[in-house]
Structure 1
Amino acid sequence: MSKPAVEPSTIESAPRSFIGRLADNDLVASFLSSKITVAAGLITLILLLAAVFAPLIAPTNPFNPATNFLIDSLTPPRFAAGGDPRFLLGTDDQGRDMWSAILYGLRVSLLIGIFSVLFGGAIGITLGLIAGYTGGWIDAIIMRIADVQLTFPAILIALLLDGVAQALLKNSNREGTAFGVLVVSIGLSFWVQYARTVRGSTMVEKNRDYVQAARLVGLSPARILVRHILPNVMGPVLVIATINLALAIITEATLSFLGVGLPPTQPSLGTLIRIGQNFLFSGEWWIVTFPSLTLAILVLAVNLLGDWLRDALNPRLK
């Protein structure tokens, strides 16, 4: 007597590996389908790793005066005439190795950009959730404040907040507070975009059936906002955060270039560009060229990732 054939539907398929599930992900497939996006992602990853591991990669610590010698100041790059083999990209007016200064400056610029985005995003998301969910006069007040702030350029708001903070902290250590002041100033100048986007999405989501069900079971508004509405409005927020990261880095570089950013003892890319600009017309072109190229490549790569993420998360383009 022959055994009954096993129906194909009853055969359990082997569990798929993480790589297999990842390969079928729409977001990953969209990323891998664009060579420009892949290149931008690799460049961003390389720059991020270079900033994280700057103490291991950099030949010297530009923040340590003991490793910088004025006798080595204004040395051309290794490949230029009169260059020194010890300095790949030359040195600045303080004798700091430009390769090391760019690595550490990249770390500072990225940290300020990331913390600014997190700070501004936290404020904007919170206010947007409250305004969209409660409505009424609370929504009106928050949105009118946002409308007023939109009439001023972000760089002007950052300059104003930086000046106010420095006036209030005039008796404290300038170098010790410059980083925090920049983060707060840049973060406060970008919260409006998060608030307006999250408010609009929250006004739509709060009328969904799952939110009504959560209200019926007696969940508090705070729990509904955090556990149910917030995860469903994070798509546009991620796009804004990616684009704002590039804007925050540019804003920090602009503030540092104008002399109200980080001091020369804690160089960011903007500070290095400001220092190099003073020597551009005297022939020391490398001091401003290499930090400027690094900043341009970083911002371009992040912007390309932001454009891809915006298109990938837009259901109308699928």
Structure 2
Amino acid sequence: MSETIMRPERQSGAFRRVLDSDMFYSFRRSPLVVASALVSLLLVLAAIFAPLIAPQNPFDPASLSVMDSFYPPAWSADGQPGFLLGTDDQGRDVLSTILYGMRISLAVGFASVIFAMILGVSLGLIAGYAGGLTDTIIMRIADVQLTFPAILTALLIDGVARALAGPQAYGNIVFGVLVLSIGLSFWVQYARTVRGSVLVEANKEYVLAARLIGLRPITILFRHILPNVLGPVLVIATINLALAIITEATLSFLGVGVPPTQPSLGTLIRIGNDFLFSGEWWITIFPGITLAILALAVNLLGDWLRDALNPKLR
């Protein structure tokens, strides 16, 4: 009975601590950050619930009609009320393609960031804790990686995957190839940041005490050191999410991303770019605006998180 009574109080106390924390105070006192969070949340929810709110399923050929192609936005003179943002060359509703395209862009972005974070954090922990030859090898590989731009690395991995899988099988693995190519482009930042933090944490008393009582190195790394280096990692991950979405859009715009039958925002911009100078501006402009708003909102959240977790700015 006492546990039942105390549990709501503990939950209320935890919620009160969140409301009274410095981070929440910093968050609510900045209207720009609040607006960025709301815009990001709105776009993510719109992408998740796209099948429920989209007027049309642009991936279903049975629901498409070529006769509906190249309709301008609904407020234009030749627009149709059923197509708020107009239609593209295949008769797909532009609003629906944006909602479904955001699902692919966000899925690739989140998956590639998680992959890069797991790889980079693991290698950074190992390099910082082991030191010696292991540290040297990992950091020299990271230095070599830094000499290649992210787009070039992604294009190289994509080209190798196309050559090995062949044109038929590539369509089935294109999502994984995008995640792998973008993730391998961003792991270095995590590794270098975590390595520097581990070099500082490894000499502190709690790590020395863990060594004295005989804990295994992997237990010390992931149970004791990792929680104390997660702050910078979260900042990098937030900023890299916007970069990953833009990188995926760039790859798709160059024609090495997802196929046109399942378009991301970058693919939609590339398709619309072919008709931009013939007057059908809405096919590329609206996906481009959506991509810019999404990347800007996530970047602003990343900048705020970096400042909020910086003890020198408190």
Matches within 5 A, 1:278-293: 278-293=274-289
Aligned-pair CA distance for 1:18: 4.5
Gap regions ≥5 residues in structure 1: 1-12
Aligned length: 306
Match of 1:174 among 161, 170, 181: 170
Match of 2:188 in 1: 192
Point out the structure with max Rg over C-alpha: 1
Question: SS in structure 2 opposite 1:173?
Answer: helix
Q: Distance in 1 between matches of 2:225 and 2:158?
A: 34
Matches within 5 A, 1:254-293: 254-293=250-289
Match of 1:62 in 2: 58
Is residue 23 from structure 1 mapped to residue 19 from structure 2 by the alignment? yes
Match of 1:101 among 86, 97, 100: 97
Gap regions ≥5 residues in structure 2: 1-8
CA deviations 1:248-294 (Å, max 9, x no partner) are 00000000000011110110000000000000000000000100000
Greater shift, 131-140 or 162-171, is seen at 162-171
TM-score scaled by length of structure 2: 0.95
Q: Distance in 2 between matches of 1:190 and 1:167?
A: 23
Match of 1:141 among 137, 140, 162: 137
Is residue 36–residue 301 contact of structure 2 (8 Å, CA) maintained in 1? yes
Is residue 294 from structure 1 mapped to residue 290 from structure 2 by the alignment? yes
Question: SS in structure 2 opposite 1:146?
Answer: helix
Match of 2:46 in 1: 50
CA deviations 1:66-107 (Å, max 9, x no partner) are 111101011111111200111010110011111110000011
Considering only aligned residues, what root-mean-square deviation do their CA atoms show, in Å? 1.3
Match of 2:29 among 24, 27, 33: 33
CA deviations 1:275-316 (Å, max 9, x no partner) are 000000000000001000000000000000000000000111
TM-score scaled by length of structure 1: 0.94
Is residue 210 from structure 1 mapped to residue 206 from structure 2 by the alignment? yes
CA deviations 1:93-134 (Å, max 9, x no partner) are 011111110000011100000000000111100000000000
Q: Distance in 2 between matches of 1:38 and 1:197?
A: 28
Match of 1:9 in 2: none
Match of 1:120 in 2: 116
Higher helix share: 2
Identity %: 68
Is residue 92 from structure 1 mapped to residue 93 from structure 2 by the alignment? no
Q: Distance in 1 between matches of 2:76 and 2:14?
A: 49
